[in-house]
Amino acid sequence: MSESATSTAPPAVSLREAFWFWLKLGLISFGGPAGQIAIMHQELVEKRRWLSERRFLHALNYCMLLPGPEAQQLATYIGWLLHRTWGGVLAGVLFVLPSLFILIGLSWLYIAYGDVPLVAGIFYGIKPAVTAIVMQAAWRIGSRALKNNWLWGIAGASFVAIFAFNVPFPLIVIGAALLGYLGGRLLPQQFSLGGGHAASDKSYGAALIDDDSPPLAHTRFRASRLALLLLVGALLWLLPMGLLTALYGWDGTLTQMAWFFTKAALLTFGGAYAVLPYVYQGAIGHYGWLTPTQMIDGLALGETTPGPLIMVVAFVAFVGAYLQPVFGGDSGFVSGAVAAALVTWFTFLPSFLFILAGGPLVESTHGELKFTAPLTAITAAVVGVILNLALFFAYHVLWPQGFAGSFDWPSALIAAAAALALLRFKRGVMEVLLVSALAGLAVYLLR
């Protein structure tokens, strides 16, 4: 739509209309954060014109500064702009809820029927494709973030730290932030690279929330509102955490899952791929909730379902609680479903608070937001961490019995073909996963 296509802003959007749109988005939001943001831009900016291009990118730049799933946070932000706090909550919840229910069902099918030849063959093909997808994520983030030798050095150091010395991911984030802070003061031109989404002069016609629209009453900053939000957020975290501690003790599985994924929610700078190394370090190495192979399978399920990729945490929790039922006896499914719902709550609660508390501050200026120097360095470190994750997956896929065992040539060929399709021919993730699943099934059945 050109700028002259329409000069009349669309009518006000009712909460009911918004509800059906956010529900639809939650059901069709495949393709990871890039695909989800593209869908929102096409629907909200180009077709419906609920907000202008500049306002959309302004909100997106803020969401990119935050830990957490940026696409879900962007939906929450736009929902808040349109319909106040409840609009933001509605948009954010509907972005996540369909994928939670789908993943609970798929996780149960995986546990119950994962050894059936049909299912096993599909996963045999998907695993090498997932390795290629993670490698593509490292390439995509690296090509955007590593603009000079200093940032390449930080990426290399983070890779060595986690690969060779198994340094915990939180320490890598803290170290990168400190380096970025110092770099911003001593070498500002090297650490002030800005975000990945610049302002734009494109226009698709008059928008409901346009460049020059006056600020709405609920978008103005009020200290009393901020204090209330922080109090409510603290209670929404403390009450369930206190209840879990009282019922199961601090070392109980559900309590530890709630605490672990709260920390994960605060460390996801760079998106879901950045937090996966932290999850596998804790969920596999420390707690033993699942195996490396199950982690790869969970990421495959996350890639093939709508919603934010970080929803793989629901799979991790389901498998951990299902295999060691927290309610005892034959309560595997109930234990898994409760654990998945709990970790989803603790993972996404900070995202809602970041948007609802920070939104008024962001709306107070429509100037371009840029990455701070510490966040620039963290993003560089994330590239090295994701590369380590790709090698971790490749090892378990290509040498399933370890280096002492045989090399899995069919998996290597599927991984190479998937990488070529993603990086050279720019094919979609879903398309690559589907073809890889069919190839894996054929190899598995012909063996």
The residue-averaged pLDDT of 409-431 equals: 91
pLDDT, residue 21, reads 93
Q: What's the rounded Cα separation, in Å, for the pair 221 and 91?
A: 21
pLDDT beyond 70 at 268: no
- Rounded to the nearest 10 degrees, what angle do helices 53-65 and 70-113 cross at? 60
Q: What's the rounded Cα separation, in Å, for the pair 66 and 52?
A: 22
Report the candidate in 309, 314, 329, 331 with the shortest Cα–Cα distance to residue 105: 314
pLDDT, residue 370, reads 42
Query: pLDDT tens digit string along 359-416?
Result: 888 777 554 334 457 777 887 888 888 888 788 888 888 998 888 889 999 999 999 9
Query: pLDDT tens digit string along 165-177?
Result: 888 777 888 899 8
Neighbours of 327 (CB within 10 A): 12
pLDDT beyond 70 at 93: yes
Q: What's the rounded Cα separation, in Å, for the pair 289 and 320?
A: 4
Q: Tokens 């090295």 — which residue?
A: 384
pLDDT, residue 190, reads 83
Could you tell me the pLDDT band of residue 151, with boundaries at 50, 70 and 90? very high
pLDDT beyond 80 at 97: yes
State the chain's mean pLDDT as an integer: 85
Query: pLDDT tens digit string along 336-358?
Result: 999 999 999 999 999 999 999 98
| Exposure string over 314-324, b if 16+ CB within 10 A, otherwise e | bbbbbbbbbbe
Instruction: Tell me if 40 sits within 8 A of 75, measured CB to CB.
Output: yes
Instruction: Tell me if 31 sits within 8 A of 100, measured CB to CB.
Output: no
Q: Tokens 């190479």 — which residue?
A: 416
List alpha helices for 53-69, DSSP H.
53-65
Q: What's the rounded Cα separation, in Å, for the pair 438 and 278?
A: 31
The C-alpha angle with vertex 278 and arms to 267 and 357, in degrees rounded to 5, equals: 20
Q: How many residues does the chain have?
A: 447
Q: What's the rounded Cα separation, in Å, for the pair 239 and 253?
A: 17
Residues 6+ apart with CB under 8 A from 392: 277, 280, 292
DSSP 124: H
